Amino acid sequence: MSPAPVPARKLRVATTSLAGCFGCHMSFLDIDEHLFELVELIEFDRSPLTDIKDVGPCDIGLIEGGVCNAENVHVLREFRRHCKTLIALGACAVNGGLPAQRNHLPLSECLREVYQFRPGLENGQIPNDPELPLPLDKVRPIHEVVRIDYFLPGCPPSGPAIWKFLTDLIAGRTPRLAGGLLHYD
């Protein structure tokens, strides 16, 4: 892949993980030496890579993970408000993924199983601290909560897939994952 033409200024990119495992972020780091090319083209805003806590105006937002609780909703909405282009990164963001497999169970059953009935728990109770975000009844793909511009599936998407996707985007091309880069697993 030819390096992307350098845009007039560095693009500002924010990333976050909602109900995900950070695997997609790890895969992002798997673009290896392309990271050096990438930092010439972009700068990071809020991201686990920078530890910036609040998202500011950005060109691109990358969202890993689905929406499983109220905090996810707030963060996702923040990203939508601040990012010109919002991308669903990985299987969980695209269709809920592994966390969404609780969707056929009533929430009460999930929480009671974890906090009350698990062997070894005595007098366990479902946490009710107002600090904690409440879980939604179902885990949702992010496109069911805000408008999403692009989708990059995979569990996780491979480093090359992420690199191809980003270089397309930065160069002003509609990203395409042809030639074996597209995977759902």
Of the candidates 99, 91, 94, 102, the residue with the CA atom closest to the CA atom of residue 24: 91
Q: Which two tokens stand for residue 157?
A: 């998407």
Residues 55, 56, 58, 63: what is their CA dihedral angle, to the nearest 10 degrees?
10
Query: Using the rule CB under 8 A, is 26 a contact of another protein?
Result: no
Backbone angles phi, psi at 38, to 5 degrees: -65, -40
Q: Tell me if 16 sits within 8 A of 64, measured CB to CB.
A: yes
Q: Which has the closest alpha carbon to 107: 153, 70, 138, 67? A: 138
Nearest distance, CB of residue 103 and another protein, angstroms? 4
Between 10 and 158, CB nearer to another protein? 158
138 binds another protein (CB under 8 A): yes
Nearest distance from C-beta of residue 86 to another protein, angstroms: 11
Q: Which member of 148, 162, 166, 170 binds another protein (CB under 8 A)?
A: 148
Nearest Cα neighbor of 71 from 51, 52, 53 is 53
Q: Pick from 98, 159, 168, 171: which binds another protein (CB under 8 A)?
A: 98
Which DSSP helix (H) or strand (E) runs through 160?
A: helix 159-171
Each residue 53-92 as x (binds another protein by CB under 8 A) or -, in order, gives -----------------x--xx--x--xx------x--x-
Residue 168 interacts with another protein (CB under 8 A): yes or no: no
From 52, 118, 137, 173, residue interacting with another protein (rule: CB under 8 A): 137
Q: Does 21 bind another protein (CB under 8 A)?
A: no
In the complex, least distance from residue 6 CB atom to another protein, rounded to whole angstroms: 27
- Does 96 interact with another protein (rule: CB under 8 A)? yes
